[in-house]
Amino acid sequence: MTDQTLVLPWQALHEFSTRVFAALGLPEDHARQEADTLLWANLRGVDSHGVVRIPWYVQNTQNGVMNTSPNIQVTVETPAVALIEADQAYGPIVTNMAADMAVEKAKEVGIGWVLIRNHTHQGTMGQYAQRIANHDMVGLIFVASRPNTAPFGARAAGVSNNPIGLSAPAARHPHLVLDMATSLVAMGKVLVARERGESLPVGWGLDENGNPAIDPKDLATLLPMGGPKGSGMSLLFECMGSLMVSNPLVLPVLSGELEEAKTYHVGRMARHNQNSVVAAIDVSRFIDINEYKEQVDSLIDHLKELPRADGFDDILMPGEKEERTYAERIKTGIPVPPKTLDTLRQIAADLKIEFIKGVS
Amino acid sequence: MTDQAILVPWQDLHDFISRLFVGIGMPDDHAAQEADALMWANLRGVDSHGVARVPWYIANTKTGVMNPSPSIEVRVDTPAIAMIEADRAFGPIVTNMAADMAVEKAKEVGIGWILIRNHTHQGAMGPYVQRVSNQDMAGLMFACSQPNMAPYGARVAGLNNSPFALSVPAKRHPGLLLDMATSLVALGKVIVARDKGAEIPPEWGLDQNGNPTTNPSQLAALLPVAGPKGSGMALLFECMGSIMSANSLILPVLSGQVGQTEEAGSVGRMATHNQNSVIAAIDIARFIDIDQYKNEVDGLIDHIKALPKADGFDEITMPGERAQRCYDERVKTGIPLPSGTIEALRDAADSVGVEFIRGVQ
């Protein structure tokens, strides 16, 4: 039993994660991509989307919700768009493929718009948006998922807190990477509050009676950001993602066709499944890419020089906080709380693999 | 002199607006498109983007900011994307063109993504994405403009409250149409409060000292929706629209290269009006049978509307639903125009030399 948070080198966590997924049946390269995804998050302080997810992935794999050997197929393709049937693949495997496909199409015709049907958890949106920006392109990605957020005016869940990612490449500064849930707060913040035994501010979510949830353990439904704005965005993402690919995620739950059960998160959710859109727009079709990046850099410079609001030392850019955390954690290591360590140690024992190298 | 609001049939208002814009030099068809855009807004209760804008448009035309006879050119063109140089065209003219071009490309390759450079006010985003959805496609649009909103963490304006729109078609229900500013509230709400002499909540914006204000006349910068979220979206839209088309709108103001002035129709100080946008269409039929799709959208709407309601809500309304109901009513009963608007339009008619609205003294 651990009672301390350990700060572990990212390589040790990556190596352990890879072995977990290989033991579950993922091919070596896929196991590594999944580990990359988890460490992308942990290195940037998005710990809710890092190694803490492993037990949930293991459980989902063992009950057939996540598929370690999917039959991934491109079922629609034009020079500009594609639809990939993911066969419940682990999110990163098929989303990296989709991002690269979007980039290739954008090189040919200026834009690539790739839909992914029937996939599973991808980790953060930010990593894929960044992957696209690394190719000197603008990235757009959104995901559709099961209901967990109250539509504006409702007191029960009816949309998902579908996140959206947008990115633009820069040169001096890190690429701009926006990664945001359409709920007021990401589920991760509720989980952190639960871990810490803290109360939730009013406005974060509702309990199962539709009243404001104060104890995080009571939260049944998140609330949308900006009321009808986040609610509307989420609904349109379900229509532009799930309904477009004949894999509705919300309607089967609302109609009662699909049951909900207690989840790893908070509250109850239906069987995990997702659809996404990943798009890349080729900047150099419109403007010289170096001139573009210079303008982005200058814009960032000037925004950061504006007079600050009370309580702010710095005007941060989308993705900047994450890149600073990355720069630190890649050197000093990743803090892993005792409860997570214990759960992962148990996973290692169940899978009959060695625990994290260097950790008892 | 009018001192009452009056109800004007939309056809008479449309006719007047068309004549007015022909009077300032627009071709007949363009004037009609501009009138269509203003009526779209007024009929749906988005009055801040309707005929109340006309005096500002006329003033902008006289100073050369808005161009009634633009030389519109397609500068980049692939099967999937295009960039249109708008030469300060009135927004509706070039945006209708871009929407139709997006649809044509989407029919060919599944998506059309059109960047419009150097255009002027479009009215609401709604008519354009609706135009796309009326052709059985999903619509996406955003517009970029000069700074009027404080970035998250700043106490002065440094981004635009760039609006963003998404639409999909349905069958039984009107299609879904989301049209939202990236500020907590649209500027129109501040203007309405100012015109009524009402106070505003302190969360809406900052005065010129960077402090929250409840006085709409003091507002110098809007605040973003959900802090870093609205702020982040607005920043990325500037990068995806303006910087992409080599027509930066934010940087020239922040760097001091372009000055700001008091501008009628807005609040606070803004730089000379200019915009860039992106409008895209995605062809649903590439991926799924369109009738099946519309049925599913209808089914989803039915079930969401059937959820238990929050306190204070009789109904769970869909994006675009309230606007559609307003349209259904106003198309029959007419458009209410406050006396201030009537007088401003009467002045515009006089200055351009056209007859006022038929049937109005």
Is B223's Cβ below 8 Å from some Cβ in A?
A: no
Interface of B with A in 275-294 (CB under 8 A): 282, 284, 286-288, 292-293
CA dist A81 → A105, A115, A283 (Å): 8, 8, 18
Residue B1 structural domain: 1-64+334-361
Does B316 reside within a domain? no
Looking at the structure, tell me whether residues B185 and B109 fall in a common domain: yes
Contact check, Cβ <8 Å, A303/B309: no
Contact check, Cβ <8 Å, A239/B138: yes
Please write down the HEC assignment for all residues of B338-359: CHHHHHHHHHHHHHHCCCCCCC
Average pLDDT in chain B: 94
Residue whose C-alpha is closest to residue B204's, from B195, B194, B196, B214: B214
Contact check, Cβ <8 Å, A240/B236: no
Domains in chain A with CATH codes: 1-65+330-360 (1.10.1530.10), 70-305 (3.30.1370.60)
Looking at the structure, tell me whether residues B351 and B294 fall in a common domain: no
This prediction's pTM: 0.95
DSSP string, A277-327: EEEEEEGGGTS-HHHHHHHHHHHHHHHHTSPBPTT-S--PPTTHHHHHHHH
Q: What is the domain-level CATH number for residue B39?
A: 1.10.1530.10
Contact check, Cβ <8 Å, A110/B76: yes
Looking at the structure, tell me whether residues B143 and B219 fall in a common domain: yes
Looking at the structure, tell me whether residues B126 and B215 fall in a common domain: yes
Does B226 reside within a domain? yes
- Show the tokens assigned to B85: 């140089």
Looking at the structure, tell me whether residues B55 and B181 fall in a common domain: no
Looking at the structure, tell me whether residues B75 and B55 fall in a common domain: no
The CA distance from A274 to A270, in Å, is 11
Count: domains in chain B: 2
Is B125's Cβ below 8 Å from some Cβ in A?
A: no
Contact check, Cβ <8 Å, B210/A307: yes
Nearest-by-Cβ selection for B287 from A76, A153, A250: A76
- Residues of chain B neighbouring A244 (CB-CB closer than 8 A): 138, 282, 284, 287-288, 293
Looking at the structure, tell me whether residues B2 and B108 fall in a common domain: no
Residue-by-residue pLDDT tens, chain B, 361 positions: 556 789 999 999 999 999 999 999 999 999 999 999 999 999 999 998 999 999 999 999 999 999 999 999 999 999 999 999 999 999 999 999 999 999 999 999 999 999 999 999 999 999 999 999 999 999 999 999 999 999 999 999 999 999 999 999 999 999 999 999 999 999 888 988 888 889 999 999 999 999 999 999 999 999 999 999 999 999 999 999 999 999 999 999 999 998 888 764 466 788 889 999 999 999 999 999 999 999 999 999 999 999 999 999 999 999 999 999 999 999 999 999 988 889 999 999 999 999 999 998 8
SS3 B281: strand
The interaxial angle of helices A320-332 and A28-43, nearest 10 deg, is: 110
Chain segment B218-275, per-residue pLDDT in tens:
999 999 999 999 999 999 999 999 999 999 999 999 999 988 887 644 667 888 899 9
Looking at the structure, tell me whether residues B29 and B149 fall in a common domain: no
Instruction: Write the DSSP symbol of residue A334.
Output: E
Residue whose C-alpha is closest to residue B223's, from B188, B254, B276, B182: B182
Does B325 reside within a domain? no
The CA distance from A154 to A223, in Å, is 10
The interaxial angle of helices B339-352 and B10-23, nearest 10 deg, is: 40
CA distance B290 to chain A (A): 9
Does B264 reside within a domain? yes
Does B317 reside within a domain? no
Does B214 reside within a domain? yes
Does B328 reside within a domain? no
- Residues of chain A neighbouring B317 (CB-CB closer than 8 A): 152-153, 228
Looking at the structure, tell me whether residues B204 and B272 fall in a common domain: yes
Does B311 reside within a domain? no
Is B216's Cβ below 8 Å from some Cβ in A?
A: no
- Residues of chain A neighbouring B110 (CB-CB closer than 8 A): 76, 78, 80-81, 113
Contact check, Cβ <8 Å, A180/B229: yes
Count CB neighbours of A128 within 10 A: 32
The CA distance from B39 to B132, in Å, is 18
Phi and psi, residue B190, nearest 5°:
-70, -40
Looking at the structure, tell me whether residues B105 and B219 fall in a common domain: yes
Q: What is the domain-level CATH number for residue B218?
A: 3.30.1370.60
> Mutate which of B133, B236, B294 to disrupt the A interface (most A C-beta within 10 Å)?
B236
Length of chain A: 360
The CA distance from A73 to A89, in Å, is 11
Instruction: Write the DSSP symbol of residue B150.
Output: P
ipTM confidence: 0.95
CA distance A188 to chain B (A): 16
Contact check, Cβ <8 Å, A76/B229: no
The CA distance from B252 to B209, in Å, is 22
Looking at the structure, tell me whether residues B237 and B344 fall in a common domain: no
Residue-by-residue pLDDT tens, chain A, 360 positions: 567 889 999 999 999 999 999 999 999 999 999 999 999 999 999 999 999 999 999 999 999 999 999 999 999 999 999 999 999 999 999 999 999 999 999 999 999 999 999 999 999 999 999 999 999 999 999 999 999 999 999 999 999 999 999 999 999 999 999 999 999 998 888 888 887 889 999 999 999 999 999 999 999 999 999 999 999 999 999 999 999 999 999 999 999 999 888 776 667 888 999 999 999 999 999 999 999 999 999 999 999 999 999 999 999 999 999 999 999 999 999 999 898 999 999 999 999 999 999 998
Nearest-by-Cβ selection for A156 from B178, B250, B307: B307
Looking at the structure, tell me whether residues B233 and B356 fall in a common domain: no
The CA distance from B87 to B91, in Å, is 11
Chain segment A225-256, per-residue pLDDT in tens:
999 999 999 999 999 999 999 999 999 999 99
